Amino acid sequence: MGEGRLAMLQAIHSNNSIMRASQETGISYRRMRGAIQDMENVLGHSLVQAYRGGRDGGGADLTPFAHDLSDFFCQLAEGLKDEVDERLRSITVQLP
């Protein structure tokens, strides 16, 4: 999981569609589906529930596990950012 894959999951959630998420992010539909499958295989959990077309045109949404994973990643990333900022403030470097 990284920022790119997080952005894919967030785009799927906000668009309720893998196709529209693909268009929004500029990532090909095929690449996005492959990344989702790779993450699901590694994690052993479904991340996206896709619904085939029909009267309402189908769509997709994140599973509860994917929501939890996204929240955890955001908290972890923010904590790491805070830690890096703190360490950078404590370093004094003399530039030539």
**What tens digit of pLDDT does each residue of 79-90 get?**
888 788 888 878
Which residues, 6+ apart, have CB-to-CB distance to 74 below 8 Å?
A: 6
Could you give the CA distance from residue 82 to residue 87 in angstroms, rounded to a whole number? Answer: 9
Is the sign of the CA dihedral 22, 4, 34, 62 positive or negative? negative
- For the question of whether the overall pTM of this predicted structure is more than 0.95, the answer is no
* DSSP 8-state assignment for residue 27: -
> Higher confidence at residue 74 or residue 66?
66
Instruction: Give the per-residue pLDDT at 56.
Output: 67
We find that the CATH architecture of domain 3-85 is Orthogonal Bundle (1.10)
**Domain extent listing, the chain:** 3-85
pLDDT digits (tens, 9 = 90+) for 20-41: 999 999 999 999 999 999 999 9
